[in-house]
Amino acid sequence: MQITVVGGGSWGTAFSCLLRDRGHRVTLACRDAHQVRAIEETGRNPRYLTTANLRGVDAAVIDDAPYDVDVIVLAVPSRAFADVAASLPGTAPVLSLTKGLDPATGQRLSTRVTGRPVAVLSGPNMAEELAEGLPSAAVIASEDRALADELQHAINSIVFRVYVNEDLVGVELCAAAKNVIALAAGGVDGLGLGDNAKASVITRGLVEMARLGEAFGAQPETFSGLAGMGDLIVTCFSGYGRNRRAGDLIARGHSADEAAAEIGQVVEGLTTAPVLRDLSHRAGVELPITEGVCSVLAGEDLQGLLGRLMGRRPTEE
């Protein structure tokens, strides 16, 4: 297949390598000409995953990239997703790798793609490990089953096992919510509260994710699968997890902006948390961990929040 990957960050870089290794002709579309020249001259991305070998991947500035292709892969931040999707020429199907919600509307990102088929890929997929050729698995969700099956066949390999999941709503909500729970898990790390506390936050966070999904008609089994539990676990425990690292730094006294600056890449949970909270309010769903994360981002002391959460009235699980 001929595929254009829009977004020259870590995930776009790693996914381009994965597609190239499957034998596809890949163009990595980046924001600026310097990044493109460096990839063409050195076979390396000068900014992200700098050790990943991009030989065999074409590079182009976004405006000059080919879009009369078999698939366009979007690996851009959630805040830019709608504008990028709206500006795409042609009618090629879109595969979204972005994990978040549209900050302007609170909508799932796939709903911001119009006039063309769309699918979403999600799962426990740390870009750094994929770039090293380490094994992983993912799900592809779409309302167009033929597209999902075609993409599964095109991407699945001995190191990247791909499943099809028909629950597009659940997969997208998992992808957004797990980053917010990872901020809380990182806060547990930063405060040194131990593994029991972290496991408790992750488990109750999964309950929040499933509760929200149920309100929007998602399938319960999605939340115990790769897009739910799988992605949540790796995001909360991996040393590469940006959201976990941001939560850790914030718990140690950094502001959200300082944490994001130190990490040097997009931390989607910081954008998603208030959007997810507002979505839950509209749906009448209680998300105490998400509410707590938003309170801390707004300036509440993390120790005070911990006491408030632990002091809530005991209920049935």
The catalytic residue positions are: 178
- The beta strands (E) that lie in the chain are given as 2-6, 25-30, 58-61, 71-74, 94-96, 118-122, 136-142, 160-165
DSSP letter for 4, please. Answer: E
- What is d(CA 78, CA 243) in angstroms, rounded to the nearest whole number? 14
Task: Give DSSP secondary structure letters for 282-305.
Answer: HHT---HHHHHHHHHHTT--HHHH
The CA distance from 308 to 312, in Å, is: 6
Would strands 58-61 and 25-30 be described as parallel, antiparallel, or unpaired?
parallel
CB atoms within 10 A of CB 55: 10
Question: How many Å apart are CA 69 and CA 50, to the nearest integer?
Answer: 27
Written as six digits, the tokens of 57 are 């991947």
